[in-house]
Structure 1
Amino acid sequence: MNKLFLSIAILSAVVTMSSCKKELADKSDDVEAVKDISVVEEESTEDLLNVLTNEEDLLVGEYNQTVAKENIEVFNRINSFSAWSQVSTIDFTTEKGTGITKLYYNKELQVDKIVVRKYDTEQQSLDVYYLSDGKLVLVINQGLVYNANPNSKEFNKEESEYTKDCNYFLDGKLFAIMSNLDCGAPFAEDYVRTVEKDILEEVKKLIP
């Protein structure tokens, strides 16, 4: 009788241990799944567009090269500066995704630089505004329309559509627009004024 009882006890212990191992394995799978999700989320928020800091990356036409020198000087000065008095970060949502705005304040607490990023499932954009003494000097718009979902194997940055526009201002007025998709000829005056209006209105919304 004792031998029979001992055999039953041993068999019960083995079954219990097997069940525990299976439960631990299941929990381990759950942890691994969570890790995978976090990696995907991290990759989905990757910035595929970089803030331009080299003047060689700017688009400048022959007809506005001389006038744009002052704009480029401001561009270089602001990008070489790092001791900002304040950097304000604002998260926001759009109809299709999310975004983040950063405002860089100089020692007089004036905004010298604004960086706006927007993300959604089809594209992302990066708009950088440069100001001097409160006046707009240069706006660089970059965009990337994905060739496929950025988290899929089919996604290829090189096959996605990249756009870059450089908007040059003088005394608060837009005097030149340069685009990587354009042949380099000046845009029509009415188009320039429309773009100017849209940019100035956007800046008013961005600066508190």
Structure 2
Amino acid sequence: MKLILMAMFILLGCNLNSNKKISEVTVLKDNISNVNDSIDNVLTKVNGIDTIVLKESYNKVDIEYNDYLKENLKLVRVNFKRINSISNKNWKSIIQKDYNISSEGGVVSYYSNEKLEKITVRNFAETNQKLTEYYLLDDKLSFVFEKWIDYEYPIYDETFSESENEIVEQRSYFIKSKLVHQVNNQNCGSPFASDYLKEEEKRIIYEFSTLIKYKNSN
């Protein structure tokens, strides 16, 4: 747990070199407690200001904004609840790698028992912070939960403050590798246009596929 928390602080405090050799840590279930509990109240200093790290889902039930596709999405929601209720000590392995796609660094975590079931990605930048959770069902992408904060000022600006910035949450639901529904807490659950969903499907599947390849890279 100390290793994981230390990584969080380092990522916020320094700009990682993109040419740096990939570091990988396999966390054994007997050596850690639940990291989702441990980061819930983590505060770190950004320009001398307390900043909350976005929370991973733990023991959460998906929000049903309306009855649209309720029955169709039942398995997706049940699977989301099942996976996010697994404490870290009950995973067979958790593999972490540096993931430097933003200015202040990032980390990707792969959660597996008999097979890969969840991927989380944290990215920190000068003007935002983002957490993305990918959930698999029958070895296929099932649910994606994206959370981010956009800062009004860069973190190096003396007027930086995160207190008034709203956390945006976006949920994407997949059935047989197809994006069938997406909800954003900024639009009160209103359905998106089909053309927009197609573009979002391409984006999310590309990002997910990149993470799968990255897991298998040296």
TM-score, with length taken from structure 1: 0.71
Secondary structure of the residue aligned to 2:189 is coil
Structure with greater helix share of residues: 1
Distance 1:46 1:159 in 2: 12
Question: Which residue number in structure 2 is paired with residue 185 of structure 1?
Answer: 190
Larger deviation, residues 76-85 vs 133-142: 76-85
Identity of aligned residues (%): 30
Segments of structure 2 that go 5 or more residues without pairing to the other structure are: 1-9, 14-43
Q: CA deviation at 1:185?
A: 2.0
Q: Tell me how large the CA RMSD over aligned residues is.
A: 2.5
**Greater relative contact order, per chain length (Cα 8 Å cut-off, separation 6+):** 2
Q: CA deviation at 1:55?
A: 3.8
Distance 1:191 1:153 in 2: 38
Larger deviation, residues 190-199 vs 79-88: 79-88
Q: CA deviation at 1:71?
A: 1.1
Say whether 1:105 aligns with 2:112.
yes
**1:71-150 superposed matches below 5 A:** 71-82=76-87, 83-107=90-114, 110-149=115-154
Is the CA contact (8 Å cut-off) linking 2:65 and 2:188 kept in structure 1?
Answer: no
Amino acid corresponding to residue 43 of structure 1 in structure 2: K
Secondary structure of the residue aligned to 2:72 is coil
TM-score, with length taken from structure 2: 0.68
Distance 1:68 1:153 in 2: 45
Amino acid corresponding to residue 99 of structure 1 in structure 2: G
Consecutive aligned runs of 4 or more in structure 1 exceeding 6 Å deviation: none
Question: Which residue number in structure 2 is paired with residue 170 of structure 1?
Answer: 175
Distance 1:56 1:153 in 2: 39
Amino acid corresponding to residue 106 of structure 2 in structure 1: G
Paired positions, count: 168
Segments of structure 1 that go 5 or more residues without pairing to the other structure are: 1-37
Distance 2:59 2:155 in 1: 27
Q: CA deviation at 1:156?
A: 4.2
